Every structure is written in C-alpha cells, then in structure tokens.
Chain A
Amino acid sequence: MHEAKLTPEIMIKAMANEITDGDRVFHGLASPLPILAISVAKLTHAPNLVFLSVAEGLDPDLDRIRLRISSADPRLSLGAIAFLELIDIFDLCQKNELDVVFLGGAQIDKYGNTNLSAIGEYRQPKVRLPGGAATSYIMSMMPKTVIWATRQSKKVFVEKVNFRTGAGYLDGWDSREKAGARPTALKVVTNLAVYRFDDKTRLMEVESIHPGVTAHMIPESTGFDIEIPRHVPTTETPTEEELRIIMKLDPDNIRYSEFR
C-alpha cells in the first residue's frame, strides 16, 4: 500500500516520459504536476527541451526555482533567459512549432475531448467551472496533448462531455481531421493509470496501470466501456534520482494539493 503514496510522483514521471528531447513544451495556470514533469524531463532524458510557461520566463534555472501555489508566480521564472509573452507562445503554436502541452479536464470522454467550462446545461449550469484557459484555442492545433486528472472517477471519465472545451478526437475515427483540426497524439495520465487511444477508432484504452492499482479499479472509475488488455504493463516507478529532483523542486509538497 505504501506505493499509493507515490501517486503524484508516478504521474509526474509518466507525464515526463511523454516529452522527447528537444521538444518545445508549455504549461498553463494551476499546473503543479506539469511543472514538475517538465523539470524532471529536462534534468534527465530531455536536457534540450524548451521550457515555455504561463509565468513567461523562458527556460528558468531548475536549480533555483521552487514550486509555488500559483503556476504564474514570478519565482518560477528565476534564472530565465527571456520573458516570452503568452501571445508569442500561442503564435508558435499556430505556426505548429509547439510540441507538447499539458492540459486538465474536469470531464474527459472516451475520445479524449475535455470539459472545463460547465457541468450540466451550458447556459444554466449545475456547476460553472473556471473555464479552459488556453485549452480551446490550442488543443485543436497541438501535435501532442497530455491530459492529467488527479481524481479519476465515473464523474470525470464520462461517455460524452457535457460541453467540449478541448477538442480531442471529437467523435472518433477521422472526425478530428475532417473537422479541420490538426492530427494529434493524445495521452491521459490519471491517479490510476496511463491511457492512449486506438489508432483507428480513437477510443481510449489502457496503456499501463500504476503500481498498487488493481485492474478492476479501472472500470469502477470509468463511465464508459474500456478494455483492459490481459497483460497490461505496470507504470514505471520514479527512480531515486527522479524522486530527489521532485522533492528538491517541491519542498512544500504543493504537488499533493490536487489530490486532496
């Protein structure tokens, strides 16, 4: 059971693994896990990644920054090379020169569409959510989006989102490309597992299950039919070195706040 305590760190490692060396990577507000994932990637397998953020400091000094409650905190730009305005980062995205973005989802459906706008009827919502920030604008342009969710349940993993803030694979198959959005690679990382999407149908499927999570917990926390492969791999556990990086960058344990 003590592995369960490492859930944030396992998620961070899984998110870091989605970054390839040299990628231009962006995170927005309320993003403690993405900040740590980008940092772990840069300090391990992706030293040449370009770190772009809502705090606007380009390539901050990872020896100096410490996680803050707000993801736009000026202290997250310590030692940066330049301040790159968000509008410039979105322009890079429009030019198809941004490689990976991390985005959240209050609801995520079987085709990887996300809702960050409203639960229930949009114009008279049961819950008015804060909004998707950059999600709507950039998700249809990104070559790769990693969606993270810290509390997977049937309320989060839904058959169809109430409102499509972020465009995933829309209605599956080639509907995304037909609608005029750019081709994309989606991944979903939750507190239970890592998910990918079928190459043809674009339906979500399990890629790996976190240590300490049993296979039956997945359908219990998923509001649509999801197949669990017979020999599903276990998500990698962070190394001592990766844990050390995470603890150094987040001595105040801010990463846990999304799990409470």
Chain B
Amino acid sequence: MMAKHLSIIAEKEFRSLLSERTILLAILLQLFVALFSSFLMVGLTSMYDPSSLSKYSRFKYNVGYAGNESDLSRYLYASPDFRVFQMDLSTGVTALKERKLAAVIWVPDTAPDADAPIKVTLYTLQNDLQSAIVDVKLKDIFLRYEKDLREIRIDRLNEKPLPLRFPPASGGGDFYEFVYGLLIPLLIFMPAIIASALVIDLITEEYQHDTLETLVSTPVTFPEMVWGKVLACEILVPVQAAVWLVLLMINGIAIENAGLILLHVTISSFVLVLLGALTALHYRERTAAQFIFSTALVVVILFALSLPANPMNLLTRLAVGTAGAEQWAVLAAVLAVAGLLGYATQKYTERISRISHTG
C-alpha cells in the first residue's frame, strides 16, 4: 500500500466535499444541535426556577387568601414575593380569571396536630407562564409550612432519616451535569457519527455511479482506494472535535485533558468509520447500507452506554478531571477492536479486488 496513493484519494474526497459545500451544512448542523440543546436547558431551567431570571424576582405577585387563618398566611405576608389579599373564595377566583390575582389559596380549618392532613386548595390559571412562576415561588412557602407541621407531628413518626445538613447555598451549578455529562460527549462524538455516515456515501457512490472501474484502472489499488476514503473521513473527526473544544473553552467552559479527549475520540471514531466502510463494501448500495448501519449504530452505542466506563463516560470524566488509570484499559480495548476491524477491512478489500481481477 502506498502512502502517496492514499493521500491522492483522500485529497480528492476533500476537494469534492469543499466544492459541494456540504461540509458547511454538517458544521451548521452541529452548531444547531449545540445551541438548541443549551436553549432547551437554559429555557427550561429558567421556567422551573424563575429566580435564575432576575427579571421576575423583583415583582410582587397578588395572591388571594380565603378560608381559615394559619401559619401559612403568616409566611405569605412575610414573603417579599407576594401581596396578600384576604377575600371570599368566589370573589378571589373571579378576580383570578380577570388576571387581577396570580393565585388563590383556600385553607381549611384542620388543626395542625390533627390525624388528617391539611388539604390546601390552590387555584391558578391554566396554561399560563405566570402561574408557572408563581407555583415555584409558592412552593418554597408551602415547603416551610410543611416542615413546621412535620415538626408538630414528629412523635407519630417511627423512623428518622439520617441527618445531613448543608452549608448555606451559593447558587449556580445547575448546568454542570448537562454541559459535562451530556453536551460535551454528544458534541465530541457527533463528528465520529457524521464521518461514519460519510464513508458509506463515498464508497457506495463509486459503486452506484459505476466510477469504480475508472478508478481501479489507475495505479491506485482497490484496498488503497478504500483506505484513502477511510482516511479522509477519519481526519475530519479530530479536527471537528478540536474546534468544539476550543469553542467551548472560549465560552468559559473549562475542559481538562483536551489532548487525551482528542486521542480517545479519534480511536473510537475509527471503529465507527471502519464499521461504516465494511457495511458499504458489503451492500454496495446506499439505502441498504445506511439503513443497516444506522440501526447497528444505535445498537452499538446503546450497548456501549450500558457498560460502565464506556468511551463516552470516559470523555465526561476526562473533561471534568476525574478519570483514573482505567482510561488506558478502555483505550487499549477500543484500539484492539479497531485493529480487528482494520484487519477485516484489509482482507475483505483484497478479496474483492482479487475476484474482480480474475472475474
């Protein structure tokens, strides 16, 4: 096998990728996925925890209080988030419908130490953003009231949970697991998936457009041609992954062991690209190859994810800096699989070219 021939094939594929500008779409796609998922996360969190949106924290919401006096009303009056109006239930609900109140609370006359629970009725507007915010703010007050009531009824409990006290909260940390435990492995692995889909297209295209004979009539052998295509796709992976890492770092997300992450993703992606190449060589037709490959991909990734210390988990641990020596064992295992697939690809391509020469 000649390195020069490999690079000729790889270069040809790069040129056509550039001229079609499809690679731009691929990059745009990844950008979209990244932006979209963080939009989802930030948007959802601000919805469920409105304190993260400072805009809503300075408002006082009007709530109607109906029914009997309780400690709950004391908490509500003391809260900086609410303006409380004592009123009759029917008036309150009508005012709520006219959006003059954000919520109406009705409290029964159940005694705090009664056998039965205290059932508070909370009226809010259906399908309304304001209700969502008010719900979250009221939740804090209800939780405090629940704690008081639990304290009153504590003698009736059989078992006490192990105590654990926390220092005062400093806030933040909501997105850490999302960024390191989902976004980073996803972004780093996506180039690998794209590359393996690409190699199928490159190989089946030669078959379906009948350009294979022209290509093999040049000094380039069939195995060299396949390896050149594999190489072209494989090179794209660490380049894209590195761009992601740099972009994330520019965004203020500290990533440890960036070099090791690139090493791991390059080797793992080799497995996927070779799997893609083998599928394409077997079917020689895009629809079938892509279908079988993408189904197989789901199976492989799902299976890998169910194993502890899988390559994707390793990316997370490397990025946060808690990966231990086990990473080398995983790397060796992945490398062994890649080597095996590489050997299979070499043998398979040699066989195909022998058959086509004799036949």
Does A associate with B in a complex? no
